[in-house]
């Protein structure tokens, strides 16, 4: 497993996003990625991404994250594994995309370049993805179809924060540690909290099979990109 974390600032809030802040949040999840660590902060200071790496595919430094595309307009921080990335890679190479690593992470970057928000549709695997598109000025968060990989987020004035674990969000000085009493009731009753709730008020988990898009004006939209196939009534399968 790996750990991802980030901040998108869409308002004129202070303090600024600093490398030290991202590192402090990121390193609350050192156990998720002991092999490497990285930080990216955009030149305009609006986005900060962090990553803790557990090397699985392409163990070289070429797999370091956050990872950009060729012109640094798209950056990604990714936790998981894309099982069909070899087939997707071949399709993308045939369309002219150039690779600099053997990672499935780079396939996600090129796939987004090719398909935009529909890049998630052909993916097979387990994943939590954070992608910054500077051309469209939007943050994209995606969680795999069955919710194998975790992804949490919180909206605070002028900012949205996200991470693989809640404790990384709690490391941000503006996040208040208030208990969500309704979620606590569910946990004490069922030993789980239904998505999108968590035990902390304001912190939500992105549901399985969902995508979150945060625009530069602060508008946040969460949509379902996948749902299980609903079985047809048994009558349709009965013999006449």
**Is residue 235 domain-resident?**
no
**Is residue 8 domain-resident?**
yes
The residue range of the domain holding 92 is 3-228
**Is residue 236 domain-resident?**
no
Rounded CA separation 112/210 (Å): 16
Domain count of the chain? 1
**Is residue 67 domain-resident?**
yes
pLDDT at 55: 76
**Is residue 238 domain-resident?**
no
**Is residue 212 domain-resident?**
yes
Candidate list 2, 49, 108, 130, residue with the active-site label: 2
Q: Is the pLDDT of residue 240 over 60?
A: no
Tens digit of pLDDT for each residue in 161-205? 999 999 999 999 999 999 999 999 999 999 999 889 999 999 999
Q: 27 CB contacts (<8 Å, ≥6 apart)?
A: 37, 52
Rounded CA separation 37/24 (Å): 12
Q: Is the pLDDT of residue 212 over 80?
A: yes
Q: Which long-range contacts (CB under 8 A, 24 or more apart) does 14-19 make?
A: 16/45, 17/41, 17/45, 17/46, 17/47, 17/48, 18/48, 19/48
Secondary structure of residue 117 in the 3-state scheme: helix
Q: Is the pLDDT of residue 123 over 70?
A: yes
**Is residue 237 domain-resident?**
no
214 is catalytic: no
Rounded CA separation 225/209 (Å): 6
Q: Are 128 and 80 in contact (CB under 8 A)?
A: yes
Tens digit of pLDDT for each residue in 143-165? 999 999 999 999 999 999 999 99
Tens digit of pLDDT for each residue in 9-44? 987 766 789 999 999 999 999 999 888 899 999 999
- CATH number reported for the structural domain that contains residue 16 in this entry: 3.60.20.10
Tens digit of pLDDT for each residue in 76-90? 999 999 999 999 999
pLDDT at 234: 55
pLDDT at 164: 98
- Where does residue 65 rank: exposed (0-12), middle (13-18), buried (19+ CB within 10 A)? buried
Rounded CA separation 10/160 (Å): 8
**Is residue 208 domain-resident?**
yes
pLDDT at 184: 95
pLDDT at 1: 77
């Amino acid at each position: 497993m790996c750990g991802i974390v980030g901040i998108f600032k869409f308002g004129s809030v202070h303090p600024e996003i600093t490398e030290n802040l991202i590192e402090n949040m990121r390193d609350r999840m050192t156990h998720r990625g002991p092999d490497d660590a990285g930080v990216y902060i955009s030149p305009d200071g609006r986005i900060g991404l962090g990553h803790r790496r557990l090397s699985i595919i392409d163990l070289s430094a070429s797999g370091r994250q956050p990872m950009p595309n060729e012109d640094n307009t798209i950056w990604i921080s990714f936790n998981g594994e894309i099982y069909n990335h070899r087939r997707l890679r071949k399709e993308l190479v045939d369309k002219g995309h150039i690779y600099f690593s053997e990672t499935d992470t780079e396939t996600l970057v090129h796939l987004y370049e090719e398909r935009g928000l529909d890049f998630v549709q052909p993916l097979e695997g387990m994943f939590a993805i954070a992608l910054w598109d500077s051309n469209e000025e939007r943050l994209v968060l995606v969680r795999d179809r069955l919710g194998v990989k975790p992804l949490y987020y919180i909206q605070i004035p002028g900012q949205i924060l996200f991470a693989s674990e809640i404790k990384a969000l709690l490391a941000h000085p503006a996040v208040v540690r208030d208990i969500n009493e309704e979620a606590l009731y569910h946990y004490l009753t069922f030993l789980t909290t239904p998505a999108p709730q968590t035990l902390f008020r304001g912190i939500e988990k992105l549901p399985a099979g969902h995508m979150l898009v945060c625009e530069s004006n602060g508008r946040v939209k969460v949509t379902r990109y996948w749902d299980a196939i609903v079985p047809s009534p048994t009558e349709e399968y009965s013999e006449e």
